[in-house]
Amino acid sequence: MSAAPRLSHPGINLGPSHPETQRKSGELLFGFWVFLMSDAIVFGLLFATYAAMLHARAGGPGPQKLYDIESAFIETFALLSSSFTFGMASLALKYGKRQGPLIGWLLATMCLGGLFLRLEVGDFLSMLHQGAGPGRSAYLSAFFALVPLHGLHVLSGIIWMTALILQIRRYGVDREVKLGLLRLGLFWHFLDIVWVVIFSFVYLGGLA
Amino acid sequence: MSPDDGMKGDRAEYTRELRGYILGYGLAILLTLVPFGLLNWHVLAEYGLYLAIGVCALVQVIVHFRFFLHIDPPRQNVDDLHLILFSALLLFFMIAGTIWILSSLAARTG
């Protein structure tokens, strides 16, 4: 580990074999990191609201009745694995000379993200069918402010990934594409961290 | 990415970074299986269970920061670390303050 080079920004550092990207990446990624930290504040406050409203159920259903542990478990695995496949895409970007593996890992990440969203939308629909929509109680308003906001972030990550794949096909892996992939990587891994907190405190904490 | 088709950069660094992702993924899976398993098989009583879930979540967040976001304090750019610590401090004040004030309000008016 002692030979490891210094890191100029969060996330994977492309290093000296990508000189034209490495020169710009420090400042751009710091800016994106500021955005992510402000996004973390938004999620943090929605978590606090959820915690404060957890018992404000107005006679409506609670977590024990509404959450499905199996679905939460598969969603967690899909998102965790998608973080790993994005990591492999980052390595293919940094060390690979061809586009194939990079695009392959990005497509795998998109599929896992899509699976996550598919299951999550199923969860929300089943809650709505039980009459447990955001209008039912303060607890459910807080739930539907927090969890679907994370889902929307995942959806925007998938749209962003699609745009980057199209850019790779159209322009090749140029500097702009590399900088985009570095930022998307931070975004995607950040969303996984938010999900860790959601599955632990909302789902597991609610069912405990 | 087989070794034959040529590689950019340093082979040793590639191996080190690949190991990092695999180790991070393995730890993340372990730290997910433990709390789900504890809940599913009712191993612990209520407070022990809450504590175990909280500890696993905290450790897993640190694992993600370290292995996926590559936050590695001795090697890191100091601005990034300051930003993370400052955001964590703000988050602590805002979350603790919100829960404290709102639950106190609920107790007084409920």
- pLDDT at position B110, please? 67
Of A16, A92, A197, the CB nearest to B1: A92
pLDDT higher than 90, residue B8: no
- pLDDT at position A170, please? 95
> What does pLDDT average to over chain A?
94
A1 within 8 A of B69, measured Cβ to Cβ: no
pLDDT tens, position by position, A117-149? 999 999 999 999 999 999 999 999 999 999 999
CA separation (Å) from B1 to A101, A105, A179, B70? Answer: 7, 11, 21, 22
User: Which positions 14-33 of B are in contact with A (Cβ < 8 Å)?
Assistant: 14, 16-18, 21, 24-25, 28-29, 32
pLDDT tens, position by position, A37-75? 999 999 999 999 999 999 889 999 999 999 999 999 999
A5 inside domain: no
A65 inside domain: no
Domain count, chain A: 1
pLDDT higher than 90, residue B109: no
Could you give the ipTM of this predicted complex?
Answer: 0.92
A78 inside domain: yes
- HSE-CB at A187 with a 13 A cutoff on CA atoms is 21
A193 within 8 A of A154, measured Cβ to Cβ: no
**How far, in Å, CA of A161 to CA of A159, rounded?**
5
- pLDDT at position B2, please? 46
**Does B71 reach chain A within 8 Å, measured CB to CB?**
yes
Structural domain that includes position A200:
17-56+70-207
Q: pLDDT higher for B46 or A44?
A: A44
- pLDDT at position B103, please? 86
pLDDT higher than 80, residue A35: yes
**How far, in Å, CA of A6 to CA of B77, rounded?**
8
Predicted confidence band of residue B5 (pLDDT cuts 50, 70, 90): low
pLDDT higher than 50, residue B4: no
A75 inside domain: yes
- pLDDT at position A1, please? 45
Decide if B98 and A52 are in contact by the 8 Å CB cutoff.
yes
Q: Which contiguous run of DSSP H or E holds residue A176?
A: helix A175-197
Average pLDDT over residues B61-66: 96
- pLDDT at position B43, please? 82
Q: How far is A95 from chain B (nearest CA, A)?
A: 5
CATH number, domain at A39? 1.20.120.80
Q: Residue A65: is it exposed, middle or buried by C-beta count within 10 angstroms (0-12/13-18/19+)? A: exposed
Residue of B nearest to A86 (CA): B68
Predicted confidence band of residue B3 (pLDDT cuts 50, 70, 90): very low
Domain ranges within chain B, ordered by starting residue: 8-70, 76-110
A2 inside domain: no
- pLDDT at position B44, please? 82
Residue ranges of alpha helices (H) inside B41-77 are: 46-63
- Contact list in A for residue B60 (CB cut-off 8 A) is 196, 200
pLDDT higher than 90, residue B90: yes
